[in-house]
Amino acid sequence: MIVQPEGIFYQMLTVENIPNLVEEHLVKGRPVDKLMYVPSKGKPPIPKLSDIAFFSKQRLVVLKNRGLIDPEKIDEYIARDGYQALAKALTSMDSEQVIEQVKGSGLRGRGGAGFSTGLKWELTRKSSGNGKYIICNADEGDPGAFMDRSIIESDPHSVLEGMVIGAYAIGAAEGCIYIREEYPLATKRLHIAIDQAREYGLLGEDILGSGFSFDITVHRGAGAFVCGEETSLIGSLQGQTPEPRIRPPFPAQSGLWGKPTNINNVETWANIPTIINRGAEWFASIGTESSKGTKVFSVVGKVNNTGLVEVPMGMTMREIVFDIGGGIPGGKKFKAVQTGGPSGGCIPESLVDLPIDYERLMEVGSIMGSGGLIVMDEETCMVDVARYFLDFLRSESCGKCTTCREGIAAMHDIVADICNGKGEPENIGLLEELAEAIKDASLCALGGTAPNPVLSTLRYFRDEYDAHIKDKKCPAGVCRALISYRIDPEKCKGCMLCGKHCPEKAIGGEPKGPQTIDLEKCIKCGVCRESCKFEAVLIE
Amino acid sequence: MMAKLKPEDLSRIAEKMRRQTLLREGAGRAKVTVHMGTCGISAGARKIMTTLLGLIDQQQVQDVILTTSGCAGLCSREPMMTVEIKDKAPVKYVDLDEKKTLTIFTDHVLGGEIVTDFALGMGSERVS
Ligand SMILES: Cc1cc2nc3c(=O)[nH]c(=O)nc-3n(C[C@H](O)[C@H](O)[C@H](O)COP(=O)(O)O)c2cc1C
C-alpha cells in the first residue's frame, strides 16, 4: 500500500495494522516507521553530492568557495577568481557604472530591512562632504543565526573585496568591520586576510596601481543585540553607549563621526564581487520579482540536517525543511518555521508552500531578517516560543524608549503567566494593545518588531493560547505548570530504567511490574520519558 | 615585503595556485581537507587534524597535501573532511572520529579505496 502525497510504501500489512495506520498516518499525519518498507542494506556505491537533496537544491553564490579554499591563504582565493571583480571595477568602470550594476542587480540588504543596496550606495555617494566611511555589520545577534560568521570563516576575502569595490563606488577612504566579540575565529581570519590583502596592495595606498586608496580596520562588538542596529553600532564605534537615535539624518547623510557613512551586512558585501564579475542581469535572473539572488539561511531546530544553506530567493519553505533539511527527526510532525530572529514570526504548516522572499514573508506576518530559520515540531509549544523571544528582547532592550523597555517586559510577564497556568481570557486583548503601543512609540526596529513573535503566534496558533488559558493545558506538553507525567501500566515492562535516571527518586514499583510516578516528588524534568525504551511515559 | 600587485598579476597567481592545488604536475597524489569552521572545531575537527598530522609524520608520507577550509554546510554531520585523489572526484566524509580517520587515511588516502561506510557522497557542489 502506498500513501500519497508522501509516497510512503507500507509492506506486509495485516488487517490488525490498519486501524493504527489510519489513525497515525492518515489522521495525524505521522508515518508509521515500523510498517514502512526499508530498502535492503547492501553496500550501495556512495551517492553523488548532486543526488543528495541537501546539496543539489542549493545554489552557491555567496558561499561559492565554501569548503574549497583555505581561508587563511589569499592565493587560494585569487585562484578562484578572487579580486578579479575589483580589478575589473578599478580598471574598466567608473564609480557610477559600479553603482548602476549594483542597482540593476536588484540586490537588497541581507541584514534585515532589505533596502536596495545600489540605492543606498548612490545616496551615500551623492551626500556632500569628504571623509566618507563604509561599515560592514558583522554583529549578528539573532539567536540561532550563524550565516555571517560562516561566510567570514570560510571566505573572508569575499567580504573585503566587496568592501573595496563599495568604497571605490561611494568614494570612501576608510572602512570598519564591526564584529561581535563572540566570534574569535572569524575575527582572527579577518585579521589574517586584511594583512595579506595589504601585502599584495589590495588594501592601502594605490590599490592595484589604480591610484585609489582605501583601508579597513576591525572593531570588536560590545556584545549587545542592539549594537547591530546601525545607529547604535555607529555610537558604539565612537565609544558611546550603543543607543539608537532618531533617523533622519540617515547614516548616508551623517554617520560615523558625522560623515556620510554606508553600512551593509556581511552577506550583502560578499555578494558584490560576483555581481561585478557576472553582471547585474545575471544576478537579477535568480530569484523572484521583488527579491533577487540567493539567501543564506542557518537552518536549526527540529530538523534532520542542520547547517548553512544558500538557496535562490523564491524557494518554498517545504523544499528547505523537507528536501534540504531532510524533514523532522523521530517521525514527529512538522509544526512551524520561525524566521527573522527575535523580530520575526512563526509560519505555520499550512503556509509551508510559500515561496520565500521579502514581501511574501511580510505578508504572512514574519520577516526575512538576517536568515535564521528555526524549525519546530509538534512538541514545540508556540506560547513558550513567544515567551522565549520576549525574554530575550526584554533583556536586550537598551532601555531608551519607555514603550520598549517597559512594554516588552509587561508582555513577557503576561505570556509567562499564561505558560504558568495563570492566564486570563482578557490577557489576549491586553497583549494586542501593548503590541500596538510598543510598535508605535519605539525608536528603532528592536521595539518596532518586538511584538511580532506574539502577534504571529496569536494569528496562527490562537488555539494553543486558548488551551493554556481556558483549559489550563499545554497541548505540546512543554509548559511544566500545565503538564504531568504518568506511566502507562500496559506499556511498562518494569525495566526500572526510568527510576534509575530520575533525579528526585520519584519513581517506584516492583521489578518487572508497572512503575508509578510520585507526583508530589516529580519535578517534570522529562528524564523518565527520554530514558524509556517502550514509550510508556506519557505527558498529560 | 611582497611586491604590490598589478591587475595582470592576479591571473599569474591564479595559474600558479591551480597548478599546485589541482594535484596535477606532480604537486601531490592526494589532498585532504579538514573542514574547520567554528562548527567543525566544536565537533572535534582539531582532533581529526592532529590525527592526520601524526599519521603523515609517522609514516613519512610525502605526497599528500593536508589543508583546512571553512564549514562545508552540513553542521549536523561534523567533523567532516574531503579526500581528493589525483584525477578522481573528491569524497566527503562525515561524523568523523580518530578511529574512522585512521581507516580513511589507510584505505582511501594511501590505498585509493573509498571507505563507503563513512562517506557521505562524492563530487562537488553546484556553484553558480
Ligand atoms: C535591534 C537590531 C539589530 C540588528 N542587528 C543587525 C545585525 O546583527 N547585523 C546586520 O547586518 N544588521 C542588523 N540590523 C540592521 C541594521 O540596522 C542595518 O539595517 C543593516 O546593517 C544594513 O545593512 P544591509 O542594508 O546590508 O542589510 C539590526 C537592526 C536592529 C533594529
A285 contacts chain B (CB < 8 A): no
Amino acid (1-letter code) at residue A65: N
Q: Is residue A64 part of a domain?
A: no
Q: Which is nearest to A358 in space by CA: A416, A408, A295, A308?
A: A295
Which residues 487-506 of A are in CB contact (within 8 Å) with B?
none
Q: Which residues of A touch B82 (CB under 8 A)?
A: 67
Distance from CA of B75 to the nearest CA of A (A): 5
Distance B37 CA to ligand 1 centre (A): 23
Same domain as A397, residue A345: no
Is the complex ipTM more than 0.95? no
Same domain as A397, residue A340: no
CA distances, A522 to each of A416, A504, A536 (Å): 21, 7, 16
Ligand 1 proximity of A229 Cβ (cutoff 6 Å): yes
The whole-number pLDDT of residue A40 equals 46
CA distances, A454 to each of A49, A312, A416, A474, A523 (Å): 40, 29, 12, 17, 28
Q: Give the pLDDT confidence of B67-105 residue by residue, as tens digits.
A: 999 999 999 999 999 999 988 899 999 999 999 999 999
Report the alpha-carbon distance of residue A345 to residue A452 in Å, rounded. 6
Same domain as A386, residue A353: no
Distance A115 CA to ligand 1 centre (A): 11
Which residues 194-233 of A are in CB contact (within 8 Å) with B?
199-202, 206, 208-209
The whole-number pLDDT of residue B128 equals 73
| DSSP at B109 | I
The whole-number pLDDT of residue B86 equals 86
Q: Is residue A276 part of a domain?
A: yes
Report the alpha-carbon distance of residue B96 to residue B118 in Å, rounded. 8
Cβ <8 Å between A67 and B16: no
Report the alpha-carbon distance of residue A314 to residue A316 in Å, rounded. 6
Same domain as A267, residue A218: yes
Ligand 1 proximity of A400 Cβ (cutoff 6 Å): no
Distance A138 CA to ligand 1 centre (A): 9
Residues 6+ apart with CB under 8 A from A492: A509, A514, A515, A534, A536
CB contact at 8 A, A86 and A161: yes
Report the alpha-carbon distance of residue B83 to residue B119 in Å, rounded. 10
End residue of a domain, out of A471, A502, A522: A471
Cβ <8 Å between A47 and B122: yes
Residues of chain A with pLDDT under 70: 1-12, 21, 28-29, 31, 33-44
Q: Which residue from A51, A286, A305 is facing B74, i.e. has the nearest CB?
A: A305
A155 contacts chain B (CB < 8 A): yes
CB contact at 8 A, A67 and B94: no
φ, ψ (nearest 5 deg) of residue A350: -65, -20
Angle (CA) B79-A376-A355 rounded to 5° is 95
Same domain as A277, residue A300: no
Same domain as A230, residue A166: yes
Hey, what long-range contacts does A309-312 have (CB within 8 A, 24 or more apart)?
A309/A54, A309/A58, A309/B73, A310/A58, A310/A59, A310/A60, A310/A61, A310/A62, A310/A63, A311/A57, A311/A58, A311/A59, A311/A356, A312/A59, A312/A286, A312/A287
The whole-number pLDDT of residue A363 equals 93
Distance A112 CA to ligand 1 centre (A): 6
End residue of a domain, out of A344, A370, A396: A370
The whole-number pLDDT of residue A184 equals 96
Q: Is residue A479 part of a domain?
A: no
Distance from CA of B98 to the nearest CA of A (A): 21
Query: Nearest-CA residue of chain A relative to B34?
Result: A67
Query: Nearest-CA residue of chain B relative to A50?
Result: B125
Q: Which residue from A58, A201, A208 is facing B125, i.e. has the nearest CB?
A: A58
Ligand 1 proximity of A140 Cβ (cutoff 6 Å): yes
Distance from CA of B120 to the nearest CA of A (A): 7
Same domain as A9, residue A45: yes
Give the domain extent around A530: 484-539
Ligand 1 proximity of A155 Cβ (cutoff 6 Å): no
Query: If you count DSSP H runs as helices and E runs as strands, how many of each does chain B have, helices first?
Result: 4, 5
Same domain as A127, residue A209: yes
Ligand 1 proximity of A152 Cβ (cutoff 6 Å): no
Ligand 1 atom nearest A138 alpha carbon: 9
Q: Is residue A218 part of a domain?
A: yes
Same domain as A492, residue A457: no
Q: Give the pLDDT confidence of A377-413 residue by residue, as tens digits.
A: 999 999 999 999 999 999 999 999 999 999 999 999 9
Cβ <8 Å between A46 and B120: yes
Q: Is residue A376 part of a domain?
A: no
State the CATH number of the domain containing residue A354.
3.10.20.600
Nearest CA to ligand 1 atom 6: A228
Ligand 1 proximity of A449 Cβ (cutoff 6 Å): no
| DSSP at A44 | P
Distance from CA of B60 to the nearest CA of A (A): 23
Residue B120: is its pLDDT beyond 60? Answer: yes
State the CATH number of the domain containing residue A454.
1.20.1440.230
Same domain as A223, residue A333: no
Cell of A165: 569595490
State the CATH number of the domain containing residue A78.
3.40.50.11540
pTM attached to this predicted model? 0.90
**Could you tell me how many residues make up chain B?**
128
A159 contacts chain B (CB < 8 A): no
The whole-number pLDDT of residue B26 equals 63
Q: Give the pLDDT confidence of A60-70 residue by residue, as tens digits.
A: 999 999 999 99
Q: Is residue A300 part of a domain?
A: yes
A75 contacts chain B (CB < 8 A): yes
The whole-number pLDDT of residue A358 equals 95
A181 contacts chain B (CB < 8 A): no
Average pLDDT, chain B: 91
Same domain as A341, residue A300: yes
CATH number of B27-126: 3.40.30.10
Cβ <8 Å between A309 and B2: no
Report the alpha-carbon distance of residue A75 to residue A196 in Å, rounded. 9
Q: Which residues of A touch B114 (CB under 8 A)?
A: 46
Residues 6+ apart with CB under 8 A from A359: A290, A291
CB contact at 8 A, A30 and A332: yes
Same domain as A386, residue A355: no
End residue of a domain, out of A412, A440, A471: A471
* Number of structural domains chain A divides into: 5
Q: Is residue A377 part of a domain?
A: no
